[in-house]
Amino acid sequence: MFSEKTIYILLTDTGTILTRMIKSYTKKPYNHASIAFDAELFEIYSFGRKTAKNPFMGGFVREDIHSILFKQANCAIYSLTIPNNEFQKMHQYIQEIAAQKEHYRYNFIGLFGVPFKTPIKRKNAFFCSQFVASVLTESKIIGFEKDLSLVEPSDLPHSANFQLIFEGRLRDYHQRDKNKRDSILVIPL
């Protein structure tokens, strides 16, 4: 018997100026993608801004869903259960990038290839959905029909049998679980 683990994709709309610009092109509700390795979204990674105030200072980030950047964010959270060995491959891949994060940068130029369906690949550079797609392909059970540098956040849930587990305000995600626990009726014996 093999063990399984669950991974999570978090798609967000943070409402920032850059997000609104991207949204005006994509017409999609969510334009930022992250990958998480726990249901609480504590261990969550992406390529994005390193500081909340500067969208042009970007690279590999471990995100904090409680930060000011995500305070008003809307989101969709998807889950997928995979074999433990594939989960470990993904996790190891991210740890290798994290150990060398100063050598990685945000692929801002690569974003301009997406509307023209022209891959713009740069060494050690990713934009958010390109990064998440590269992590998913590490598992060898998830693949994409298009070049990873053309993968948009809205493509990610369709790459495998991901299940939508939550949609709404990101700040309400943890409250949802608390409300479920608080509503359990205990009947004394």
> What confidence category does residue 83 fall into, taking pLDDT thresholds of 50, 70 and 90?
very high
pLDDT of residue 185: 43
More confident residue, 79 or 18: 79
pLDDT of residue 177: 58
Strands 125-126 and 105-106, sheet pairing: parallel
Burial 96-114 (b: 16+ CB within 10 A, else e): ebeeeeeebbbbeebbebb
> What confidence category does residue 105 fall into, taking pLDDT thresholds of 50, 70 and 90?
very high
> What confidence category does residue 187 fall into, taking pLDDT thresholds of 50, 70 and 90?
very low
Phi, psi (5° rounding) for residue 30? -130, 130
CATH entry, 4-182, from 3.40.630, 1.10.287, 1.20.1070, 3.90.1720: 3.90.1720
* Residue 182 pLDDT greater than 80, yes or no: no
SS3 assignment, position 91: helix
* Residue 188 pLDDT greater than 50, yes or no: no
Number of H helices, E strands in the chain: 5, 8
CA distance 127 to 96: 17
> What is the distance, to the nearest Å, from the Cα of residue 150 to the centroid of all Cα atoms in its chain?
15
Average pLDDT in the 18-35 region? 87
Instruction: Provide the 8-state DSSP code for 150.
Output: G
* Residue 39 pLDDT greater than 50, yes or no: yes
**117-135 residue pLDDT tens:** 999 989 999 999 999 999 9
pTM above 0.75, yes or no: yes
